[in-house]
A and B are shown apart, each in its own frame.
Chain A
Amino acid sequence: MAEERRQKHCSVVLPTESMKAMAESVGVGQLQEDSCVALSEEVSYRIKEIAQDALKFMHHGKRRKLTTSDIDNALKLKNVEPLYGFQSQEFIPFRFASGGGRELHFYEEKEADLSDIINTPLPRVPLDVSLKAHWLSIEGMQPAIPENPPPATKEQQKAESTEPLKVVKPGQEEEGTIQGKSQGTTTPDGKGKEKGLIRLKPRSTHELSVEQQLYYKEITEACVGSCEAKRAEALQSIATDPGLYQMLPRFSTFISEGVRVNVVQNNLALLIYLMRMVKALMDNPTLYLEKYLHELIPAVVTCIVSKQLCLRPDVDNHWALRDFAARLMAQSCKTFSTTTNNIQSRITKTFTKSWLDDKTQWTTRYGCIAGLAELGSDVIKTLIIPRLAVEGARIKAVMEGPVVSNIDKIGAEHVQSLLLKHCASVIAKLRPQPDNVDQYRTDYGYLGPMLCSHVMKARTQAALQAQQVNRTTLTITQPRPTLSVSQSGLSGSSGPRTPSIIKVPSSLTLMSPRPGTPSQPSPPATKYIVMATSAGAASTQQVITLSSSQSASPVTSTVPSATSTLQPLVKLESGSGAGLTASRPLQKYIVVSLPSSASSSLETKSSVLPTSISSSSLDGGMKLERSESPGASTQSPH
């Protein structure tokens, strides 16, 4: 420790080369070495002095970040003319250059063309300072409103689930006492226990307030109800609400019980809804699901590998559900797998085991492969590719052999396409360039030729993408198959219909032109419009997924988006609109509300950056809307 400190104190002095460089810059060449040393010591000392004074200004400015104006003020304090021209609020983008054996940091100033400045329309007037009041606490209890942070932060939840016997933090203790109070139990009792030598984990009671109970009821009903618009709204609420921590155990039980019942009843639609709930819970940035994985993972795995998920396996698209659940599984493996719980390896083992079993049905087989494939290219490489030949033979037996049953055939087809889809890109990376059909056939058996063509396709696509290196972010905007809404028809008894995959580029979310303030209503408005039509709901869902999962976006990144190429926005809209008559107004509204971005939507250069902003603002907007009921009710006791 002492050594550390000593290191901190050792006086750092600017190198003499800097002195020379500076002297040269003001026209003094040939500076003596001695004078350089003297100068650098003096300059270093003065700089430190100024920095110390500047810190003072930072403290009094109640900031954590030192700004250029602090330095200016410190200079003024010393009666030195401040440095003019550094007005950057955030940071000064110093750039580094080296050459001729010298290294230099400099502040790049671009030449600005006056005519450009004149011709560009004026930026929006910044909003004036305003005041906003909210309840931070009501009689000692912090209301769960969007203005307040979630009752238990994600880190705290994580710590709680991974190290349950850790010293209780004051915040948690606080929570405990409040809960005790709200139930009328004796507070000092609980406190005394916590202070005891043996630290027992405080037993937390999950008493839900009336508002929360109402919310829970509404949400669960909406999630499995028939109204798609409501469902979308509910799912979005689950994905964004910061105050769900208390309700998490109930949601988790709801999902696990729901899956158990509906698998038996082969109710595909409900299973899909439940999986979407899981997805929404996972997407919620304030929730840490580790504690509830024991309920959620079996439910998800069931949806991946169950023999039968729907009433008519020959027509219903249960494959999409398996795909979706497999992605969920992969995501939770990525997020929650640790050396202690070994989720990923356990899951992998489960999948492999049932895949290797000869008696496994095609549906389960499909699920196992999908589950494994979603875990990433390493898993594909080590587990799937070596078995391609065996699997190919099996498929061949079904496809070309005597017709056993239609269901088996469909299953085999799906397994085949799944294998091709996932393996192609991996093989493309593994194998050297010339793709020889024969070679493939010897290596992979029955699937060889098809693989070969897929690999070639993958290669050309990769090459295409490589050309657009500067637009790599565009991959995000590529549409991704989501669970389609039309499943709702399946729950009824509508005719067979292949699930339509609605493709909406996620750039939809990027369109909010200036998402500066939470009070700005435009982003949520867009969203609501989307939700207003039943057909648009799936797209909303996707929008949410993409936007909010950007913090931990394993899904987005892992999904190979080979299903379709990028299409211009307008075309996409009209395309989907043509298929679904109900979405007419949707299309219209989007065009109207976002003219500026629509015109420039095709050049979403900085799609990553706006995503982060817009998602947060969207969250804000959503929360504002939704919190009305609990917020109002919490205020009433006061």
Chain B
Amino acid sequence: MIALTGKNQSYVLVLYGLCFPLIHVAHAQFILKMAAVQGGMGDADIKTDIKTEPSADGFGNNNANDGRVLSASPGSSSSTGSNKQTAAVTPEDQQTLLAVLQFLKKNKLSESVEILRREPGSDTNSDQPDVSVVLSAYSQQGDPTLYKVYYRDLKKFIETVLDCHRAELSQVFYPLFVHMYLELVYNNHESEAKAFFEKFSGDQECYYEEDLRILSGLTKKEHMRGNETLLDFRTSKFVLRISRDSYQLLKRHLQERQNNQIWNIIQEHLYIDIFDGMPRSKSQIDAMSGSLAGEAKREANKTKVYYGLLKEPEIELPLDDEDEEAENEEGKPKKKKPKKDSVGSKSKKQDPNAPSQNRIPLPELKDSDKLDKIMYMKEATKRIRLGPDNLPSVCFYTFLNAYQGLTAVDLTDDSSLIAGGFADSTVRVWSVTPKKLRKVKSAADLNLIDKESDDVLERIMDEKTASESKIMYGHSGPVYGISFSPDRNYLLSSSEDGTVRLWSLLTFTCLVAYKGHNYPVWDTQFSPYGYYFVSGGHDRVARLWATDHYQPLRIFSGHLADITCTRFHPNSNYVATGSSDRTIRLWDVLSGNCVRIFTGHKGPIHSLAFSPNGKFLASGATDGRVLLWDIGHGLMVGELKGHTDTIYSLRFSRDGEILASGSMDNTVRLWDAMKAFDDLETDDFTAATGHIHLQDNSQELLLGTYTTKSTPVIHLHFTRRNLLLAAGVSQL
């Protein structure tokens, strides 16, 4: 496949060569994951394997001199000839492959080893004994003083190209800058590195500010060891999306100038996703860039995602006239009519985009769940139809005397309980209805109860313990994430101490501490159907758990920095995670694969929200912007500007008409979600090319701004009747 047919087409093949091993890698990672999940091996094993990668890398630095000779030499010696490049292109892929091979060997999965070896491209390096040797780093032999010249040269070139290409080619600056700087640092050219940084850091886009700050602190080879940002840069390719014309221009220029240094970096560390057609404009590029590893590859977002909702189970309603109300409850006004015909047709009608009902096993409905569903439907009939002319009322819950210690809030779906996680490691639950919180009686007392009586559920409760709030102790660090189970029997909390705890709301005690993240767990959330929950934290992996397993069922790894927030898709088949690497990823719960990567935020993402119909995702970040994503097409479809500080909370109204956002800037803002989503669905060009044209209509979409006195809004919740509840702690 590397054979060349003609010189002018060579780059196409190069690209194929690029893509192919990547697919293998995806396979291999998948195998790794499946092995982790299904192989029955201890969680600890997997973890150590994953964790050793960085440390082995650090170790690799020690042996870098050997490594350089062994593996990376093709990279450094590669000329513009394309056949050599392909070999040089994939050092990291080979690393991964080797790691997988070793893992398989260790676990005596010889068949898989054989299969993997048979895959083209993977057998080339398989006889190398040590993984760490392969993990080579920057090993150029160029003259350090020439770096500036190279960079300036390229800069001059890009500044002189036609306007239409300039914006696209300018994307190259940042990754090149970083890699060149790191190369200089790695090869102990400290002063040159500093000079290089000072000279060119000002040219970089302002949204890379934070990364640049980290880089600026890094001036010695020793610092590179264990530095996360740096590891990310080395282990992952920076993805650029460039039109064919622009790319050709760049390539021709570099070849003419014999600028191998830069060409090598582009070959080794960048992934250039070439598309046919018009080059993109500066604003289009700016909308999508900003993440730690460039934009998402197009094929990364090609997988089919079943974003439809699951069929609601049929529940006999006690009264006939309430049958109609049942229809409303799904929150999709468009489908109201066909459903009205009969209950039978409703069950047959399956959303083509919905996953099959048993794609992932979901817990059986209990009687109490059914009762709750009926309650939900009843409430739904009283729901206020929201719209631009009919804004929701906002009720604000202020936590007093919390001394800035409130770190997480959640409300139950029926808005009867509110829970707060605090910096002092406590979890507190309040009842916001007159119904007080009661514990279950002690075992001895429970024995005395007549188990056959109708009100047994009422009898088991201990009246003496009734109070408006309960405190639960157990964590040993600030509680950063909190989530009620849909049936209101459990509460999850994740903490700085690395555990996720499951609390019973019947006894108000801790039931399980899920240990797996060894670092702070930033967020956790229950699946909308209960049983499963997801957690993500500083260790950069999200984990899927089931409440009755003390080990995770899936490990979602791929983010390059902390996972800051986690959300379940309404159909429970997918999980969205937002990260400090400024990307959002969507994971398939069934396979554990990453099915969507959304880039465009310029700061760590702190809030996510799925629209109730499951089609869209909203995300808010420290940059104060809310971005809207179409999950099916894998595209950004909107940008809502207005907030001036981190957005900690996002929530769609029950019917998806209004998006509410709460921020550190003490405001709750309401956005016209219907309008935001309606406008774009007609634009099929968008979907075809993957380009986005965002019109700046934030002001039109903003329906309301409500300022609190000095209370950052950290949680939002729409009641079943579409009343908006907000919560925060007063900073006065």
Tell me the A residues contacting B by CB distance below 8 Å: 2-3, 5-6, 8-11, 41-42, 44-45, 48-49, 52, 56-57, 59-65, 69, 73, 76-77, 89, 126-140, 142, 147-149, 170-171, 174, 181, 187, 516-519, 616, 638
Contact = CB atoms under 8 A, between A and B. Distances in A.
Contacts of A133: 395-398, 432
Contact of A131 (B198, B430, B496, B648): B430
Given A61-B478, A128-B401, A130-B401, 14 more contacts: A5-B209, A9-B212, A10-B198, A60-B407, A60-B522, A62-B729, A73-B496, A126-B401, A129-B401, A132-B400, A133-B398, A147-B398, A149-B708, A171-B705
* A-B CB proximity, top 7 nearest: A140-B391, A2-B202, A136-B394, A136-B396, A137-B394, A48-B217, A9-B216
A622 to B, nearest CB: 15
B258 interface: no
Contacts of B394: 135-137
A285 to B, nearest CB: 13
B398 A134 contact: yes
Contacts of B201: 5-6, 9
Given A60-B407, A73-B496, A137 B708 contact: no
A511 B203 CA distance: 58
B726 interface: yes
Contacts of B222: 42
B401 A127 contact: yes
Given A5-B202, A171-B707, A10 B216 contact: yes
B712 A134 contact: no
B interface, over-half SS? mixed
B428 to A, nearest CB: 7
B393 A135 contact: yes
Most A Cβ at <10 Å: residue of B217, B390, B406, B648: B217
Given A6-B202, A137-B394, A131 B399 contact: yes
A132 B400 CA distance: 7
26 contacts: A3-B202, A41-B219, A41-B220, A42-B220, A45-B220, A49-B217, A56-B562, A56-B580, A60-B407, A60-B564, A62-B407, A64-B731, A77-B538, A89-B404, A129-B400, A129-B422, A130-B401, A131-B397, A135-B393, A135-B396, A137-B706, A139-B391, A147-B398, A148-B709, A149-B709, A170-B699
A517 B400 CA distance: 8
Contacts of A517: 400-401
B423 A69 contact: yes
Contacts of A89: 403-404
Given A9-B212, A45-B218, A170 B705 contact: yes
Contacts of A136: 394-396, 668, 706, 708, 726
B376 interface: no
A393 to B, nearest CB: 59
A64 B644 CA distance: 13
A63 B428 CA distance: 19
Most B Cβ at <10 Å: residue of A2, A10, A63: A63
B118 to A, nearest CB: 43
Given A2-B202, A62-B648, A11 B216 contact: yes
Interface string B496-537: 100000000000000000000001101000000000000000
B585 to A, nearest CB: 19
B664 A62 contact: yes
A103 B390 CA distance: 63
Interface in B563-617: 564, 580, 604, 606
A518 B401 CA distance: 10
Contacts of A147: 396, 398, 709
A170 B642 contact: yes
Interface in B166-190: none
B676 interface: no
Interface in B388-431: 389-404, 406-407, 418, 420, 422-423, 428, 430
Nearest to B202: A2
Interface string B699-732: 1001111111100101000000000001001011
Nearest to B712: A62
Contacts of B731: 64
Contact of A9 (B206, B213, B397, B430): B213
Contacts of B648: 62
A519 B477 contact: no
B482 to A, nearest CB: 12
Contacts of B400: 127, 129-132, 517-519
Contacts of A9: 197-198, 201, 212-213, 216
A238 to B, nearest CB: 20
B404 A63 contact: yes
Contacts of A48: 214, 217
Contacts of B522: 60
Contacts of B392: 137, 139-140
A170 B702 contact: yes
Interface in B300-336: none
Contacts of A187: 389
Contacts of A65: 404
A61 B423 contact: yes
Contacts of B562: 56
A11 B420 contact: no
A133 B709 CA distance: 13
A240 to B, nearest CB: 14
A38 B645 CA distance: 38
B730 to A, nearest CB: 9
A128 B430 CA distance: 13
B395 A134 contact: yes
Contact of B393 (A61, A171, A638): A638
Nearest to A6: B202
A405 B202 CA distance: 82
A11 B217 contact: yes
B223 interface: yes
B646 interface: yes
Contacts of A2: 202-203
B271 interface: no
A10 B564 CA distance: 29
B398 A132 contact: yes
B708 A139 contact: no
Nearest to A2: B202
Nearest to B519: A77
Nearest to A65: B404
Given A6-B201, A62-B664, A138-B393, A52 B214 contact: yes
Contacts of A616: 732
A134 B396 contact: yes
Contact of B704 (A3, A62, A137): A137
Contacts of B402: 129
Nearest to A141: B391
Interface string B192-232: 00100110011100100100111011111011000100000
Contacts of A137: 391-394, 668, 704, 706
B480 interface: yes
A69 B606 CA distance: 21
B632 to A, nearest CB: 31
B622 interface: yes
A3 B202 CA distance: 7
B617 to A, nearest CB: 21
Most A Cβ at <10 Å: residue of B400, B402, B406, B699: B400
A306 to B, nearest CB: 42
Contacts of A516: 401
Nearest to B428: A129
Contact of B604 (A59, A126, A134, A638): A59
Contacts of A132: 397-398, 400
B204 to A, nearest CB: 8
Nearest to A135: B395
Interface in B639-698: 642, 646, 648, 664, 668
A2 B389 CA distance: 45
Contact of A73 (B520, B704, B706): B520
Nearest to A518: B400
